[in-house]
A and B are shown apart, each in its own frame.
Chain A
């Protein structure tokens, strides 16, 4: 529907390029990052990672991902701020956002959604729930 190439989502399946959906994981806790990376890579997403807010911004600029998994308590720039920056940037209009946080309070969930997050996941999370939400956000059908 949209003719502008930069707005094309990979899942629309341009014939020549690989129909790979990209995911950016921003998480400062090494072991959690590792688990997320494993889970997403296993389902065929192109995964990039960042361990703090600054690295995340660089990654976002280098290649707008289809999905950003954001930890809230991050060094330098926290997840809420990243969320806001993504929503302010027209180039990142197609990026879905999921906040993943150890802070489970209602008020914080509300704040994240208000800032433009598409989904919210509380730590510790079920890996199946995580992947269901990721697929739902990206419009990918569940594996058979």
Chain B
């Protein structure tokens, strides 16, 4: 038998330890050396999700529905995968607007609406207070179970509250929460000491649960395999492990998963730890995988403990919810039992503390303050310092929430309404989802839509889930359930409109979500949002684009004095802290001192957000409005601002487009200019070349003419030699002039063409004959491969001869080896005659091959330095061949000779002639 005193002392000692940790955490925070500013503490604080309902209840649930306990932990795990977007957005928005509770968040999103904030608060209080009661009950039940040690038969008798330790625990928790939750007011509403405590408790409950799990699995059994094998042998237990059996059908699984997905972001305590207490957005990155890991760890022993308990105790003698405690007790493991007890205490107190803070903030900021500020006779708006009053309200709210919780626990006791409250609470907070998630991602959501949706969903929840739980507890006539209200069958609360076959939770979730989402969307679309709603919608939905602190100022216009604003802030957070806040503002704006601060939209927004931290955004707006002469922005004006912004955006997009086009045009021009310059350069080069080519023969002609004229006594042989030179050079000159004129004519289209049937054999033989002297002189072997009677082609005989001559003389020019050879081949290919003129000379480099057919371009013969021709021959030849529909091209390998080829199309009829 453990003495009650020991357990009481242990409990109080434990809470005392929590005090010490919280105190230390706050001290460190004050000293600027935070102990919670790391992702691990952040993750552990998120584990406040696991309450005594997890610690004791999971085992209880597993004992009745097997793996049916899992969806409650699968949901958050799934949601964690979306945190990087959803939760990050909530954190970003809350930091930017100093939002301190989920009621404030929703109120602020829909135009800083008092009504909405109040409604959310009421739903939260109604939904959560019973949940707090459940935690107190867990503490109480575990306490009385421990008192029976080593017997495991729980006493159900409740004590008068003055002798009930639970009451003292509740009051102790209230004191704790007041001490560390409302030490002072500030805009961030962050509580480092508390977070440290929550993280610590998360460790304790995890360690305790795993310790019990290990004991059961390996102490009482031989490991997992043994537990499951023995359970599988018992038919009733085997059923627990099969999906679709006791574990519930798929609808139940789905709705529980969805519920818990929503709960992990919408429960006031989760909002508190994950958003309000968040120190650094980046902590989320680790929490996204660490938190699911925590859930996994705390659930791994649920089934072994449940099955162990069911097999260990005679059926029905021990409540499965107490297995975590009673299994170590029945095995006389005193210290393990005490550890389990402390673990359960941790789970329960952690939840109670955070939930109470969250609720009290909501009650104060979104329920009480708006009402007090509205009561003109209180003259609160003129009071010098409201920070004391605010703290008073907060503290009262904390006590009130805990007293309500205790009261509910005391009255409900073992009633159904308390036992099943976990999921009922989840369903209540799930009603925030449409307004919350819609508000994050849909700009069209309005205050009216949110109000109607929330109210509708809340009423359905009340009617189909909360009231039936009262009926099942015997507080309402049971006919309410069996016959519906006023005897209308369709209004039977758990078979609304005849919908049967769903479990209570799925049923309520189904109808409440239909009502909630339906009203939210329909009423949002019904009326256009007001200016305030529109501006808030933009700030929330586009928060990742508006990141500067002064982002709200875009939609504000008015005038105020700095002194008024500072006094105003001082009234809510105290003059001293207000002074600090202004100094911080000056620093952030790069202004040397408070005196230089000017009252502009940014400052007004700053002050408003600071006050919002203390009294909520809706009241803060009213307060600021009382000192600021605001010129209200009509919807038209807000729309104009937005239009202006989007026009500017469109305009800049147009500008961008234009500048791209301009750039493209510039590039084209630059290219054209380059081509022109290139042409100009080519023309200059051409003229220079032509000039040189003209001057060279002229020089010889003039020189020899003068020699002959000055030297009449020259011997006849020399005389005729010089005259021969004059003749040759004159011919050369004529040839060049003819070529230039020729090309000019062909290019301008003025050339005369005399097409006739041409025998290419004759043409080639003529050309060879004309050049035979040169070939002989240079000792170049000529090889002709020409069929006897090639088909005739339609062409200008003289022109084609010109081409042949040009190619043959080129070939000769490029042959400078002793055993030079040039071959001429005539062949037929695809309706054309083909002529190849190949030499084994110096060849043409690939770079030159690309340009030699362009007029004025010549092989840049580094070995020869000076071009060997006018640079027009190939250009003219190609023009001629093209004129008759053929092609002229070159194939060559440098150093191994070149092969010039051209084709001339055959008339259709002559193809067969050749084939014959």
Name the one of A39, A42, A103, A124 contacting B699, with C-beta atoms under 8 angstroms. A124
Q: Decide: A102 and B699 in contact? CB cutoff 8 A.
A: yes
Q: Decide: A35 and B710 in contact? CB cutoff 8 A.
A: no
Q: Which residues of B contact A75 (CB under 8 A)?
A: 863-866
B781 at the interface (CB under 8 A from A): no
A127 at the interface (CB under 8 A from B): yes
Provide the bound-state CA to CA distance between A29 and B698, in Å.
12
Name the one of B710, B728, B864, B865 contacting A127, with C-beta atoms under 8 angstroms. B710
Specify the chain B residue showing the minimal Cβ separation from A100: B699
Q: Decide: B691 and A102 in contact? CB cutoff 8 A.
A: yes
Provide the bound-state CA to CA distance between A102 and B704, in Å.
17
Interface membership of chain B positions 681-703, coded 1 if the CB is closer than 8 angstroms to chain A and 0 otherwise: 00000001001100110111111
Provide the bound-state CA to CA distance between A123 and B706, in Å.
14
Secondary structure at the B interface, as helix, strand, loop or mixed, is: helix
Q: Which residues of B contact A35 (CB under 8 A)?
A: 699-700, 703-704, 707
Q: Which residues of A contact B728 (CB under 8 A)?
A: 31
Closest Cβ of chain B to A27, distance in Å, is: 10
B725 at the interface (CB under 8 A from A): yes
Q: Decide: A125 and B699 in contact? CB cutoff 8 A.
A: yes
> A102-B691, A103-B688, A124-B703 known; A32 and B696 CB under 8 Å?
yes
Interface size on A, residues (CB 8 A): 25
Provide the bound-state CA to CA distance between A28 and B566, in Å.
99
Closest Cβ of chain A to B281, distance in Å, is: 71
Provide the bound-state CA to CA distance between A32 and B864, in Å.
18
B729 at the interface (CB under 8 A from A): yes
Closest Cβ of chain A to B714, distance in Å, is: 9
Interface membership of chain A positions 70-89, coded 1 if the CB is closer than 8 angstroms to chain B and 0 otherwise: 00011110100000000000
Closest Cβ of chain A to B733, distance in Å, is: 11
Provide the bound-state CA to CA distance between A32 and B696, in Å.
8
Q: Decide: A76 and B700 in contact? CB cutoff 8 A.
A: no
Interface membership of chain A positions 60-77, coded 1 if the CB is closer than 8 angstroms to chain B and 0 otherwise: 000000000000011110
Provide the bound-state CA to CA distance between A75 and B867, in Å.
10
| Chain A CB within 10 Å, residue with most, of B698, B707, B711 | B707
Q: Which residues of B contact A28 (CB under 8 A)?
A: 865-866
A20 at the interface (CB under 8 A from B): no
Q: Which residues of A contact B863 (CB under 8 A)?
A: 75-76
> A102-B696, A123-B695, A123-B696 known; A128 and B865 CB under 8 Å?
no
Q: Decide: A127 and B703 in contact? CB cutoff 8 A.
A: yes
Q: Which residues of A contact B692 (CB under 8 A)?
A: 73, 102-103
Q: Decide: A125 and B702 in contact? CB cutoff 8 A.
A: yes
Q: Which residues of A contact B700 (CB under 8 A)?
A: 29, 31-32, 35
Interface membership of chain A positions 119-135, coded 1 if the CB is closer than 8 angstroms to chain B and 0 otherwise: 00001111110000000
Q: Which residues of A contact B729 (CB under 8 A)?
A: 31
A110 at the interface (CB under 8 A from B): no
Q: Which residues of B contact A76 (CB under 8 A)?
A: 863, 865
Q: Which residues of B contact A128 (CB under 8 A)?
A: 706
> A35-B704, A73-B692 known; A124 and B698 CB under 8 Å?
yes
Q: Decide: A123 and B698 in contact? CB cutoff 8 A.
A: yes
Q: Which residues of B contact A140 (CB under 8 A)?
A: none
Closest Cβ of chain B to A55, distance in Å, is: 13
Provide the bound-state CA to CA distance between A42 and B706, in Å.
14
Q: Which residues of B contact A104 (CB under 8 A)?
A: 691, 695
Closest Cβ of chain B to A60, distance in Å, is: 18
Name the one of B698, B710, B865 contacting A78, with C-beta atoms under 8 angstroms. B865
Q: Decide: A126 and B865 in contact? CB cutoff 8 A.
A: no
Closest Cβ of chain B to A109, distance in Å, is: 15
Specify the chain A residue showing the minimal Cβ separation from B864: A75
A34 at the interface (CB under 8 A from B): yes
Specify the chain B residue showing the minimal Cβ separation from A38: B707
Name the one of A42, A74, A102, A126 contacting B702, with C-beta atoms under 8 angstroms. A126
Which residues of B, 703-718, contact A by the 8 Å Cβ criterion?
703-704, 706-707, 710-711
Interface size on B, residues (CB 8 A): 23
Specify the chain B residue showing the minimal Cβ separation from A77: B865
Closest Cβ of chain A to B860, distance in Å, is: 12
Q: Which residues of A contact B725 (CB under 8 A)?
A: 31, 34
Q: Which residues of B contact A36 (CB under 8 A)?
A: 703
Closest Cβ of chain A to B201, distance in Å, is: 94
Closest Cβ of chain A to B684, distance in Å, is: 11
Q: Which residues of B contact A74 (CB under 8 A)?
A: 865-866
Interface membership of chain B positions 852-871, coded 1 if the CB is closer than 8 angstroms to chain A and 0 otherwise: 00000000000111100000
Closest Cβ of chain B to A122, distance in Å, is: 8
Closest Cβ of chain B to A128, distance in Å, is: 7
> A73-B692, A102-B699 known; A126 and B864 CB under 8 Å?
no
Provide the bound-state CA to CA distance between A42 and B722, in Å.
15
Closest Cβ of chain A to B757, distance in Å, is: 42
Q: Decide: A126 and B706 in contact? CB cutoff 8 A.
A: yes
Q: Decide: B695 and A127 in contact? CB cutoff 8 A.
A: no
Q: Decide: A73 and B695 in contact? CB cutoff 8 A.
A: no
Provide the bound-state CA to CA distance between A123 and B696, in Å.
7
Closest Cβ of chain A to B870, distance in Å, is: 14
Specify the chain A residue showing the minimal Cβ separation from B700: A31
Q: Decide: B707 and A39 in contact? CB cutoff 8 A.
A: yes
Interface membership of chain B positions 298-312, coded 1 if the CB is closer than 8 angstroms to chain A and 0 otherwise: 000000000000000
Q: Which residues of A contact B701 (CB under 8 A)?
A: 124
Specify the chain A residue showing the minimal Cβ separation from B706: A127
Provide the bound-state CA to CA distance between A78 and B862, in Å.
11
Interface membership of chain A positions 4-39, coded 1 if the CB is closer than 8 angstroms to chain B and 0 otherwise: 000000000000000000000000110110111011
Q: Which residues of A contact B698 (CB under 8 A)?
A: 123-124
Provide the bound-state CA to CA distance between A41 and B696, in Å.
22
Q: Which residues of B contact A103 (CB under 8 A)?
A: 688, 691-692
Provide the bound-state CA to CA distance between A74 and B706, in Å.
25
Name the one of A31, A39, A102, A126 contacting B695, with C-beta atoms under 8 angstroms. A102
Specify the chain B residue showing the minimal Cβ separation from A127: B706
Specify the chain B residue showing the minimal Cβ separation from A128: B706
Q: Decide: A73 and B865 in contact? CB cutoff 8 A.
A: yes
Provide the bound-state CA to CA distance between A104 and B691, in Å.
9
Provide the bound-state CA to CA distance between A75 and B865, in Å.
4
Which residues of B, 835-889, contact A by the 8 Å Cβ criterion?
863-866
Q: Which residues of A contact B696 (CB under 8 A)?
A: 29, 32, 102, 123
Q: Which residues of A contact B710 (CB under 8 A)?
A: 127
Closest Cβ of chain B to A47, distance in Å, is: 15
Q: Which residues of A contact B691 (CB under 8 A)?
A: 102-104
Provide the bound-state CA to CA distance between A136 and B679, in Å.
43
Interface membership of chain B positions 381-397, coded 1 if the CB is closer than 8 angstroms to chain A and 0 otherwise: 00000000000000000
Closest Cβ of chain A to B599, distance in Å, is: 74
> A73-B692, A102-B691, A124-B698 known; A32 and B865 CB under 8 Å?
no
Closest Cβ of chain A to B32, distance in Å, is: 78
Name the one of A32, A42, A78 contacting B703, with C-beta atoms under 8 angstroms. A32
Specify the chain B residue showing the minimal Cβ separation from A74: B865
| Chain B CB within 10 Å, residue with most, of A32, A73, A103 | A32
Which residues of B, 254-312, contact A by the 8 Å Cβ criterion?
none
Q: Decide: A124 and B695 in contact? CB cutoff 8 A.
A: yes
Q: Which residues of B contact A78 (CB under 8 A)?
A: 865
Specify the chain B residue showing the minimal Cβ separation from A31: B700
Provide the bound-state CA to CA distance between A126 and B700, in Å.
11
Q: Decide: A127 and B866 in contact? CB cutoff 8 A.
A: no
Q: Decide: A73 and B866 in contact? CB cutoff 8 A.
A: yes
Specify the chain B residue showing the minimal Cβ separation from A39: B707
Q: Decide: A125 and B703 in contact? CB cutoff 8 A.
A: yes
5 closest residue pairs by CB, A with B:
A75-B865, A35-B703, A102-B695, A31-B700, A124-B699
Can you spell out 12 A-B residue pairs with CB atoms less than 8 angstroms apart? A34-B725, A35-B700, A42-B711, A75-B865, A76-B865, A104-B695, A123-B698, A124-B701, A125-B703, A126-B702, A127-B706, A127-B710
Seen from chain A, the residues whose Cβ lies within 8 Å of a Cβ on chain B are 28-29, 31-32, 34-36, 38-39, 42, 52, 73-76, 78, 102-104, 123-128
Having A73-B865, A75-B866, A125-B699, one finds 11 other A-B pairs with CB under 8 Å, namely A28-B866, A31-B704, A39-B703, A75-B865, A102-B695, A123-B695, A123-B696, A124-B703, A125-B702, A126-B702, A126-B706
